[in-house]
Structure 1
């Protein structure tokens, strides 16, 4: 048994041994689980993938005279101003509005290629962004409107607060219809013309802690090139998902909410993106250190792509519960080809495997050079949360659904 305090002491003394999760898997194949446990202190995981349930809290600072903001736009992208007078939440998927049309559908069509994720990226990169606000005039906040150009250095707080990141597993999308579909997984070609998956598989952070024994609320992480923390369980957190004997889930399961100072991040790792005819999103890099506190941590992290599966879902059926073509392993997905109903289907990831590896390596370097230490969770993530759909019957999803 080890403690995080002991590992941090080794980090401070320059004696810590950190491996990327791929190095760990290779070492286990070579020297076994027990010897690997005796050798390594921290395992570094990483991912770089779309995380659309993300956004930024921004505090502008008060104007003179003061304004109580009720509507506002960053480069034409609307943000939420329904709390403090100059506190704003800019969502990654908010899309630029066009005021040339009163029809919201026209506005979405005209400017949907630029969204909140792009504005967040620009601010992190140090670029200037236009800002416009309308206020509710009161005795203490008499100003009715305000326009300015801002940068990350001209505002107070600017931090990411992401309600749902790091799906422990996800789905594979295909299209069995005769027309092209535009989805959050990108373009799905008709008649099983392609398949798309978004989770990087065995190098993904939460798949290496399948029972959520190590990662918890307060865990310090590498977020967007800076420092972040796990703030809470994520929305749609569903740890009761069916699991294989190795305890990895067979579909979407646990999630986490993340927080971190965007002023210390890099636009290399926080990028606005656009899915054609679907909308804007955010590509985000996250690295999670897994302290090797006991031998079972090595066993969990030794899982390989061939040992993890995801469901192949047909997006052509417009329902919450869609038909599936069964389960496939991440080894099959990463081969670039699947066979579905006797047809060879080409496969592509939304996650960047290369960037995910680079993030794990950067986290490893920060730990071994003493720049990054670990934290104890203040509470563990729920392991018994059910998933409640918005159906008239109001019941939760069981393990059999």
Structure 2
């Protein structure tokens, strides 16, 4: 049994496609088996809602009168990069406000713009013959600017780590607070329902694939930064730690503020909670077999953040079934666990995407090229003069 994306899309357009979320598929496989599910299901939808600090936005303001070439700019007190065109701006979700007492950052600015709120603009320019204006202050919104794109250089991890703290003082990290003496363990992946756990070899998506991004339509633009498909893997193909990542882009003017939210991690900094969903075509039984994995069949490494090194000690691997139970055991001690991602919202995104497909509003796209699977993971260890670079 083999299907094509074109054949599935014909069914979607006629509103005849059989669609289920990945959580629903896993339950159906338990009762009906892989072969029967593969015969009856056309599309499987997945989702995740988690902090993605490598998110950003590109804005085009439109020209002032007289024209201005912006070279420094702040949006609600958050520095935006202006080294592009005259009135093009780039703002990162993790950029903090310049007020040291503020708990806002680029993620909050992006979320406010998505929600249609006004944002204070302060800009300084480089006066030239064609751009004479030197400064400009205004309030902007998504409706008063031209392009407003959400861009994620690294927006979706295939897997991640579990953070713990074996030291004697609290640590404030990108996973949130980690309490001393193994006081808690934090993970940031919804487990077996996570999009890329269900397509471990990235055979169902690629460059150009249409996705759910922030409640609107987005596209995969390529491999994400820190893409590491060569991560060690279990027999089922899933990575034992951070593996593949994706870069994504979408029109932020069409997004839903429910799925784009600014957040702040105490004593660490701002980020952006973002909802992403992937729809997989059921091409054959292998697709269903991959999507049938359970939380007991996917694992993550437990990393001690008390050691301030790039490579930190690990307490070994734990399954997502153990993590979701609320307790894991480390060195004979029970340790509380909590997800930084929202498992509830991950399922809600999969359900919303399922509805889009079932109603013929979301068709699948043939990738124009695959995501590379041979990328090594490089790090910086200082310059060696002997290398003659």
Shorter-chain TM band? over 0.9
Shift of 1:393: 7.2
Instruction: State the alpha-carbon separation in 2 of the partners of residues 378 and 295 from structure 1.
Output: 24
Matches within 5 A, 1:210-289: 210-289=200-279
Q: Provide TM-score, normalisation by structure 2.
A: 0.97
Matched, 1:353 2:354: no
Of 168, 173, 183, 1:193 maps to 183
Q: Provide TM-score, normalisation by structure 1.
A: 0.95
Of 157, 160, 173, 2:163 maps to 173
Instruction: State the alpha-carbon separation in 1 of the partners of residues 68 and 227 from structure 2.
Output: 38
Aligned-residue RMSD, C-alpha: 0.8
Matched, 1:364 2:365: no
Number of residues of Structure 1 aligned to a counterpart in Structure 2 = 383
Of 283, 286, 291, 2:281 maps to 291
Shift of 1:242: 0.1
Shift of 1:392: 2.9
In the other structure, the counterpart of 1:78 is: 79
Instruction: State the alpha-carbon separation in 1 of the partners of residues 21 and 235 from structure 2.
Output: 24
Shift of 1:390: 0.7
Shift of 1:139: 1.0
In the other structure, the counterpart of 1:115 is: 105
Instruction: State the alpha-carbon separation in 2 of the partners of residues 3 and 88 from structure 1.
Output: 41
Of 119, 125, 130, 1:140 maps to 130
Provide Cα deviations, 1:125-157, integer angstroms capped at 9, x if missing partner: 111111000111111111111110011000000
Matches within 5 A, 1:40-59: 40-59=41-60
In the other structure, the counterpart of 1:102 is: none
Instruction: State the alpha-carbon separation in 2 of the partners of residues 137 and 392 from structure 1.
Output: 39
Shift of 1:166: 1.0
Provide Cα deviations, 1:80-130, integer angstroms capped at 9, x if missing partner: 1111111111100111113xxxxxxxx3xx22x100110111111111111
In the other structure, the counterpart of 2:120 is: 130
Of 310, 320, 334, 1:330 maps to 320
Matched, 1:376 2:366: yes
Unpaired stretches in structure 1, ≥5 consecutive residues: 99-106, 395-401
Shift of 1:226: 0.5
Provide Cα deviations, 1:143-187, integer angstroms capped at 9, x if missing partner: 111110011000000010110011000000000000000000000
Instruction: State the alpha-carbon separation in 1 of the partners of residues 91 and 257 from structure 2.
Output: 16
Instruction: State the alpha-carbon separation in 1 of the partners of residues 108 and 292 from structure 2.
Output: 37
Unpaired stretches in structure 2, ≥5 consecutive residues: 385-389
Q: Which runs of 4+ in 1 moved over 4 A?
A: none
Instruction: State the alpha-carbon separation in 2 of the partners of residues 294 and 142 from structure 1.
Output: 62
In the other structure, the counterpart of 1:63 is: 64
Q: SS of the counterpart of 2:288? A: helix
Q: SS of the counterpart of 1:166? A: strand
Q: SS of the counterpart of 1:379? A: coil
Instruction: State the alpha-carbon separation in 2 of the partners of residues 79 and 197 from structure 1.
Output: 30
